[in-house]
Amino acid sequence: MRAIEYSVTGEPDVLTLVDRPLTEVGPGEVRVRIHRSGVNPTDWKSRRGNEAGTAVHPAQVPNQDGAGVVDAVGQGVDVALTGRRVWLWEAAYQRPAGGTAQEYAVVPVRHVMPLPDDASYDLGAALGVPFLTAHRCLTVTEDGPDRLGPGRLAGRTVLVAGGAGAVGNAAIQLARWSDATVITTVSGPEKGNLAGLAGADHVIDYKQQDVVAEVRAIAPGGVNTIVEVSPAANAAIDAAVIAPHGSVAVYATDGGPTMELPVRASMVPNARWQFVLLYTAPESWRPRALADVTAAVEAGAVRIGPEAGLPLHHYALERAADAHAAVEDSIVGKVLIDVVPD
């Protein structure tokens, strides 16, 4: 089978197209014929590593997210899964041969979720990292729900920083599905249009508008949950608009590796600053998140593509390096690798 791998950390050009033997399925595992592989910032950050030129052994097949069809099942796995359409999550984490940038991936059965017949492989490959991250961000507030779905966030206000990004788009869609009032900040009209298409109720251009004044006009009592992509730049704003017992869920470090917290402004409302990383998130959260995201897909509540505020960028498997470079260069939209071209 064809696969992309890297045996040394570095720039996108360390990604190499190779022929690998078809992996046999072990107990508790499934083999998935990958149709689409999703590329996220976590994938290029893992590829780049802490220092370029560090040997990676065994070689790593990249990319955590993907979608395809179950090709084979191992001992202890229901044979009825064979032939089922699925989406994959954390396929490459701690599994050098498990990434989705290859024609067949073998992963534990818990790492595949059902993909409805009316949901595209594009959508399936876009779910894992962005939507699970968004779910975690939306469910860490102290007095908020730990599940998402219709009515779960009714009467609550969510602020999504960077609503045109992949996680921002996912957070908007999941929050609206759960009946929250959604405010988002963007850096210009084009991104504002994308955030609006995703379903945001209110869009604020932070380069042209006073974010604190605009948010307080919409939500005088403050916002219950903030999904934060740039804490170094936004900490003071977040503290100024957070509601009593609200939370700021920080899932990225865009804008700087450190942040300065306004102590008094955070203390008075008993605000929570919650840092979010999928790989080390509590196991008790994970089944809830997977169930809720799957339910949202089955309900037709999540979408991708330009009409949903998330333009798609397709690359052939042999152009995996270009796909990684596009994400690393912060292209607006979702980058997908067509392992099996449609």
pLDDT tens digits, 3-19: 999 999 999 999 999 99
Q: Which two tokens stand for residue 174?
A: 């999941």
Q: For residue 276, what are the contacts with CB-CB under 8 A and spacing of at least 6?
A: 133, 136, 137, 140, 249, 250, 251
pLDDT (0 to 100) of residue 280: 97
pLDDT (0 to 100) of residue 342: 72
Angle made by CA atoms 7, 8, 9, in degrees to the nearest 5: 130
Q: For residue 123, what are the contacts with CB-CB under 8 A and spacing of at least 6?
A: 67, 115, 297, 302, 303, 304
Q: How far apart (Å, rounded) are the C-alpha atoms in residues 14 and 257?
A: 26
- Chain centre distance of CA 179: 20
Please tell me the number of Cα atoms within 13 Å of 163 on its side-chain side.
36
Q: How far apart (Å, rounded) are the C-alpha atoms in residues 172 and 153?
A: 12
Q: pTM for the full model? A: 0.97
Q: For residue 217, what are the contacts with CB-CB under 8 A and spacing of at least 6?
A: none
Residue with tokens 């840092």: 275
Q: Is 250 helix (H, G, I), strand (E, B) or coil?
A: strand
pLDDT tens digits, 43-98: 999 999 999 999 999 999 999 999 999 999 999 999 999 999 999 999 999 999 99
Q: For residue 198, what are the contacts with CB-CB under 8 A and spacing of at least 6?
A: 163, 168, 169, 172, 173, 308, 309, 310
Q: How far apart (Å, rounded) are the C-alpha atoms in residues 83 and 42?
A: 29
Residue with tokens 């942040």: 259
Cis peptide before 58 (omega within 30 of 0): yes
The gap between the terminal CA atoms of the chain, to the nearest Å, is: 18
Backbone angles phi, psi at 212, to 5 degrees: -60, -45
Supply the DSSP string of 180-200, one letter for each residue. -EEEEEESSHHHHHHHHHHT-
What's 251-313 look like in SS3?
Answer: CCCCCCCCCCCCHHHHHCCCCEEEECCHHHCCCCCHHHHHHHHHHHHHCCCCCCEHHHCECEE
pLDDT (0 to 100) of residue 256: 84
Pairing type for strands 104-108 and 334-338 reads unpaired
What's the full length of the chain, in residues?
Answer: 342
How are the residues of the chain apportioned to helix, strand and coil, as percentages rounded to the nearest 5? 30, 30, 40
Count of helices and strands (H, E) across the chain: 10, 16
Q: Is 281 helix (H, G, I), strand (E, B) or coil?
A: coil
Residues of the chain with pLDDT below 50 are none
